[in-house]
Amino acid sequence: MGRRLYSALLYALSPLIWRRLRRERLDDHPRGERLGRIPAYHDERVLWVHAASVGEVITARPLIRSLIDDYPDHRVIVTTMTATGARQVQTLFGDLVTHHFVALDFPGATRRFVARLDPEIAIIVETEIWPNLIHACAMAGVPVTIVNARITERGFARYQRFPKLMGEAIRRLAWVGAKSAEDAKRFRTLGVSARRLNVTGALKYDQHIDEAVFDAADALREVIGDRPVWVAGSTHEGEETQLLQAHVRLLARFPDALLMMVPRHPQRFGEVAELCLERGMSVVRRSEEASIAPGTQVYLGDTMGELMMLYATGDVAFVGGSLVDIGGHNLLEPAALGLPVVSGPSLSSLGDVVTTLDEAHARVEVESAAMLGETLVSLMLDETRRETLGRNARAVVDANRGALGHTRDYLGRLIRARELHEPWPLADDRQPGSGR
């Protein structure tokens, strides 16, 4: 499939696309942004970061922060595809960055969007390969990079089905900073030149945790008191039921145990609260600022940007999207806090992060609600094991930092080359993990 046929198909499907985007709206973002109708930034120096949704925004957090600090004369503009991603940008950065929804991948919309944005560089987080958007950047002379680049097995197979379409887009990339050697191999197979490819490692290892997170966690833990607390983060439909079943098993052994549950998608907060009540659980919602009573069994984290703080409050962390067929979410957030990390078996989106944690004996895998309940009881009874697992997890994070430094270095070279009107630099042999 070529780009013209792809574009024609998008136009044909546009009614369905617009219908799907109805829930991805914010009142202060006009619908026209999806068609590239954003303010013109021709009089400013713009660095553009695209992070599709919440997970990508969190992954890119240290990089975005470094761009703000390293380039004070530039405006950092962050685009997302989802409303939850937009809210996460606002929570993490406030007025330090400008946010827009990215244009849909229609030819006219992407040309208009890139022309008005007029960035010095486009930095895509993880795997957002939009053929028309990349083509519009290439026609405007904007170098397109992918950082923390990853391709799942499923995505790799999908891209291989359309070699002409994806090959054209891939070959236009100025640089790819791959998350792992396996990801780099897949990008090479798809057509990325080895001279524009490095293995940088995962940006998620380089997360910085503000002291304010620990201060807020300490204050909340003081309110909770000396009770067994486990945190289930980024949970999905079909998963919460299993988590509540596991909590029942834990309550049978520890009647004062508290589950902090944080659903992945804000639109499900009310639904999950109702589910807890239906299961006979005493629930307090964080958004309502109600006190956690001694009899509270579930504390629902129905706010944005507070998952790390809630993780820091717990004794054990369960990472969601792993007991249902989602592929798992960020295991490194609780690991960085030194918590025992528990997950289900569905972790296809995490690649070698899982292997690294497992080799360090820093993760416990469960396959069912019953097994999760038994694991929670075991961990709550064994403080030494909890401490060992948490120490191993934090050691993994500390040992694998460095992706941010490699990524900053290469992006800096691209930005300088653009400023001096020089050719885009090639991947540096001296960088660890070079794809050459």
Confidence of residue 351 (pLDDT cuts 50, 70, 90): confident
pLDDT, residue 434, reads 37
Give the chain's mean pLDDT.
93
Percent of the chain with pLDDT over 70: 97
pLDDT, residue 97, reads 97
Nearest to 333 by CA among 78, 101, 55, 20: 55
Point out the catalytic residue in the list 56, 168, 239, 333: 56
The CATH architecture of the domain made up of 3-201+402-419 is: 3-Layer(aba) Sandwich (3.40)
pLDDT, residue 352, reads 79
Distance CA 101, CA 94 (A): 16
pLDDT, residue 211, reads 93
Distance CA 237, CA 311 (A): 20
Return left, alpha or beta for 361; rule: phi > 0 is left, psi -120 to 50 is alpha, else beta. left
pLDDT, residue 374, reads 98
Report the DSSP beta bridge partners of residue 149: 178
Residue 426: pLDDT above 80?
no
**φ, ψ of residue 176 in degrees (nearest 5):** -125, 125
- CATH 3.40.605.10 for domain 211-399, yes or no, is no
Q: What is the mean pLDDT of residues 360-386?
A: 98
CB-CB contact of 143 with 424 (8 Å) = yes
CATH 3.40.50.11720 residue ranges for the chain? 3-201+402-419
pLDDT, residue 341, reads 98
Give the model confidence (pLDDT) of 89-145 as tens digits: 998 899 999 999 999 999 999 999 999 999 999 999 998 899 999 999 999 999 999
Give the model confidence (pLDDT) of 262-283 as tens digits: 999 888 999 999 999 999 999 9
pLDDT, residue 431, reads 42
Confidence of residue 427 (pLDDT cuts 50, 70, 90): low
Cross-sheet strand order for the sheet of 46-50: 98-101, 75-80, 46-50, 119-125, 144-149, 175-178, 197-199
Stated pTM of the model: 0.79
CB-CB contact of 254 with 335 (8 Å) = no
Q: Is 56 a catalytic residue?
A: yes
pLDDT, residue 28, reads 85
